[in-house]
Amino acid sequence: MRKICKRIVVVGATPVGLEVARQLTQRGQAVSIVDDHKADVDKAHSQGFAVEQINLQDDDELRRVGIGDDADVLFALHNDDASNVFLVISAKAIAPELPIVSISGSRDTIERLYAAGATKVIDPYRISGYKIYELMHRSVIAETMERTVFGKVDLDIAEIHVEEGSFLHGRYLDELSLDERYNLIVLGVVDRNFGDHLIFATDPRRHRMDKGDVLVIIGPEDAFARFHHDLKPEPAGEDPV
């Protein structure tokens, strides 16, 4: 089946915004990146990103970049929570049916973003208290968003503790291919050999999954059901992956 190209607006020339834009562009989506902070725009330009500086408080500027016209999805990924809330309110006033994905740095802001009309807010409290900025800094979260938010499937985040006897035990992180088999994306791992901190999946070191390690995974809820089923210890000689 031919993949439908969506017109996506990413607001925020932040590390998160640029990573989301990069991942979506690689998947063939038409992405526009905008921001109102000149310093962030200039830094993004120096990294090779095409970013347009606009006034996010000007509805005409929002319309010009596609809000209320040909934009299919809006990512509100500004560093400032108040700016994200204001943006969601403004975008919803212009395009009430527009799907909007945002992030938040506090529980109070999550509630405000949903009240403002956000379709999905990534909740950092679902990931053991890590702020979503830290968790997404070098992740591939955009790929799962494309398959879930765009497909109107609920997104979920979970910690998976590696147990002896499961198909995860003894494997290397880069060998799991959970995206292909389950439509799940590994954001990172707590590899006990390197301490108790989350290590992003893009870390160049190879991580062998040992008992007690923790995977942080994002994906649609139905995918987790199949994944948890396959996590049960397998009889000798069988391998689900």
Residue 138 has pLDDT above 60, yes or no: no
81 assigned to some structural domain: yes
Tell me: the pLDDT tens digits for 195-239?
777 777 666 567 888 888 888 887 777 788 888 888 876 555 555
Residue type, 155: L
Length of the chain: 241
**In this predicted structure, what is the pLDDT of residue 161?**
87
Q: What is the CATH number of the domain that holds 199?
A: 3.30.70.1450
Give the Cα separation of 40 and 176 in Å (integer): 35
Please answer whether residues 167 and 234 qualify as being in contact, where contact means their C-beta atoms are separated by less than 8 angstroms: yes
Residue 155's beta-bridge partner residues? Answer: 220
* Cα Rg of the chain, angstroms: 19
Q: What is the mean pLDDT of the chain?
A: 79
- Residue 48: partners with Cβ closer than 8 Å, 6 or more residues away: none
Q: How confident is the model at residue 104 (pLDDT cuts 50, 70, 90)?
A: confident
User: Which own/partner contact pairs does 35-40 have at CB distance under 8 Å and 24+ positions apart?
Assistant: 35/11, 35/78, 36/83, 37/13, 40/12, 40/13, 40/14, 40/79
- Residues 11, 122 within the same domain: yes
181 band by pLDDT with thresholds 50, 70 and 90: confident
How many structural domains compose the chain?
2
Same domain, 102 and 12: yes
Q: Would 236 be classed as within a structural domain? A: no
Q: Dump pLDDT digits (tens) for 13-66.
A: 988 888 888 888 888 889 999 999 999 999 999 989 999 999 999 999 999 999
Contact between 187 and 218 under an 8 Å Cβ cutoff? The reply is: yes
Q: Which pLDDT tens digit goes with each residue over 73-101?
A: 999 998 888 889 999 999 999 999 999 99
Shared domain for 96 and 121, answered yes or no, is yes
The whole-number pLDDT of residue 1 equals 39
Say if 89 falls within a structural domain.
yes
Paired strand residues for 43: none
Whether residue 115 is found in the same domain as residue 171? no
Q: Is residue 135 located within the same domain as residue 209? A: no
pLDDT score at 73: 93
Which alpha helices (H) appear in the chain, and where do they start and end?
A: 15-26, 38-46, 59-64, 81-94, 107-116, 132-136, 141-148, 178-182, 221-230
Please count the other Cβ atoms lying within 10 Å of the Cβ belonging to residue 177: 11
Q: What is the pLDDT of residue 197?
A: 73
Among 93, 115, 142, residue at a domain's last position: 142
Q: Residue 104: name the closest of 96, 112, 95 by CA.
A: 112
Beta strands 73-76 and 7-11: pairing type?
parallel
Residues 162 and 137 both lie in one domain: no
Same domain, 121 and 55: yes
CATH number of the domain to which 77 belongs: 3.40.50.720
Whether 149 is covered by a domain: the verdict is no
Calculate the CA dihedral of residues 106, 33, 148, 229 and round it to 10 degrees: -70
Range of the domain at 98: 7-142
Q: Is residue 177 part of a domain?
A: yes
- For residue 185, tell me if it sits in a domain: yes
CA distance linking residue 155 with residue 72, whole number of Å: 18
The answer to whether residue 1 is domain-embedded is no
| Same domain (yes/no): 138, 174 | no
Residues 22, 131, single domain; the answer is yes
Domain end call among 118, 142, 166: 142
Q: Based on the fold, state whether residues 179 and 62 are members of the same structural domain.
A: no
pLDDT of 135 higher than 70: no
The answer on 102 and 14 residing in a single domain is: yes
Residue 93 maps to a domain: yes
Is it the case that residue 167 has pLDDT exceeding 70?
yes
Q: Are residues 116 and 162 in the same domain?
A: no
